[in-house]
Amino acid sequence: MSIKTIIYIAGEGHSGSTLLDIILGSREKSFSAGELVFLAEKGIINGEYCACGTVVPDCPVWSEIIEEWNETRILDLDSYSRIQKKLLSKKKLFQANKILKKQPEEIKNFLRDTENLYDTIFKVTNSDCIIDSSKGPAMIPVLRKLGYNVKVIHLTRRFGDVLNSYKVHLKKDPEKGVEHEIKPLNTFYVLFSWFSKNLLTRFYSRGLEYRRLRYEDYISDLKGSIQEIINVDAAVIEKLKNRGPFHPGHMVAGSRIRMKKEITVARKPVDTSYKRLNSFDRLLARSIDAFY
Ligand SMILES: [Zn+2]
């Protein structure tokens, strides 16, 4: 039996990761999980929406996974979620290895529970590959400690477009995948986050199967880029050629495009006009992107 694979999409948010997750999940034996790090907190505790349109605890797929996971999990859900938050918090972004190395009993249990969760997903969804677009670099050292074949896809996007995307203002609309009001972020906050997440993704991936993928490249050459990541059958190749239709399935969290029933991929990168940026932001973005 072939070893099971986790394709972990890492890097900064607003870089087209949800779309990439959906496309990679269109292969028959792949399961597109979305941002799996949010299963415990957003999915189970807060009861937020799955891409299928029902809340996660009522989703036919996730309810079965959660039920089995509850039976095997060592830590209670709050403790599990607390460790996960600590690992992924912005303040401790550079300390993930240190936290894991200490390996007190609680961390060992956390790792075992995380492996149990992936095992349960593989079993319930009958897949040999899970696509996890959690993005947080701190999950890479966690995945490294589990018994799977891990492929890290380091997804990057021009800083100016990431910044422009973070400047959006969205009102709360849970059914459309916006669980809380989204306010525009400070430019330097985005710059620090973009820089450190990209740096850490590269750093944590040493020794693992790693591929850097630019959002701009995968949109322009959809078929070629996806085939370099994963073997797909003729039906998927046809879809890649036609740029769709792709169907989100049961993603647990991610950008609001996961709530669409059907997706066709644009022929060019979208939202590249910097329309939400002021003149200082534009100058900063152009200077950084000159080196991209
Ligand atoms: Zn669902």
The CB density around residue 264, as the number of other CB atoms within 10 Å, is: 12
Condensed to tens digits (0 to 9), the pLDDT of residues 230-245 reads 999 999 999 999 999 9
Centre of ligand 1 to C-alpha 58, Å, is 8
Centre of ligand 1 to C-alpha 250, Å, is 4
Cβ pair 38, 135 in contact under 8 A: no
Nearest to 4 by CA among 153, 121, 100, 154: 121
Q: Tell me how far apart the alpha carbons of residues 269 and 277 are, in angstroms, rounded to a whole number.
A: 18
Q: Tell me how far apart the alpha carbons of residues 266 and 166 are, in angstroms, rounded to a whole number.
A: 20
Q: Tell me how far apart the alpha carbons of residues 259 and 175 are, in angstroms, rounded to a whole number.
A: 8
Q: Tell me what pLDDT residue 144 has.
A: 94
Which stretch of 1-15, 40-54, 234-248 has the lowest confidence by average pLDDT?
A: 1-15
Nearest to 100 by CA among 118, 79, 77, 84: 84
Q: In what order do the strands lie in the sheet with 149-156?
A: 30-34, 129-135, 5-11, 149-156, 209-214
Q: Tell me what pLDDT residue 1 has.
A: 46
Q: Domain containing 145: what range?
A: 5-289
Mean pLDDT of 57-71: 98
Mean pLDDT of 159-180: 89
Q: How many domains is the chain built from?
A: 1
Mean pLDDT of 147-169: 95
Condensed to tens digits (0 to 9), the pLDDT of residues 80-127 reads 999 999 988 888 888 888 888 876 899 999 999 999 999 999 999 999
For residue 141, what is the domain's CATH number?
3.40.50
Cβ pair 176, 256 in contact under 8 A: yes
Centre of ligand 1 to C-alpha 251, Å, is 7
The CB density around residue 123, as the number of other CB atoms within 10 Å, is: 12
> Token pair 């809380």 is at which residue?
180
The CB density around residue 195, as the number of other CB atoms within 10 Å, is: 13
pLDDT band at 53 (very low <50, low <70, confident <90, very high): very high
User: Which residues are near ligand 1, the ion (C-beta closer than 5 Å)?
Assistant: 50, 52, 59, 250
DSSP state, residue 148: S
The identity of residue 222, as a single letter, is L
Q: Cα angle at 88 between 86 and 94, to 5 degrees?
A: 95
Centre of ligand 1 to C-alpha 47, Å, is 12
